[in-house]
Amino acid sequence: MEYRYGSHTVYKIQYHFVFVTKYRYQVLKGDVGLKLRELIRQTCQ
């Protein structure tokens, strides 16, 4: 992650995603969770 510069500002934007389902049931586990994690990382880069 790198810093971005404006005319009078310096900033670095970071996001933290939390997927919460009803009753905190784990639906993003196993291969589905790994694939989703890979897709999100590729999109963010």
Taking only the tens of pLDDT, the chain with its 45 residues reads: 689 999 999 999 888 888 788 887 888 889 988 998 899 889 988
Q: Which of 36, 39, 40, 38 is CA-nearest to residue 28?
A: 36
- Residues contacting residue 36 through CB under 8 Å, at least 6 positions apart: 28
Find the distance separating the first CA and the last CA of the chain, reported in whole Å. Answer: 9
Q: What is the pLDDT of residue 1?
A: 67
Q: What is the pLDDT of residue 7?
A: 94
**Alpha carbon 37 to chain centroid, angstroms:** 8
φ, ψ at 26 (rounded to 5°)? -80, 105
Give the Cα separation of 4 and 20 in Å (integer): 31
Domain of 38, in residue numbers: 4-44
Domain count, the chain: 1
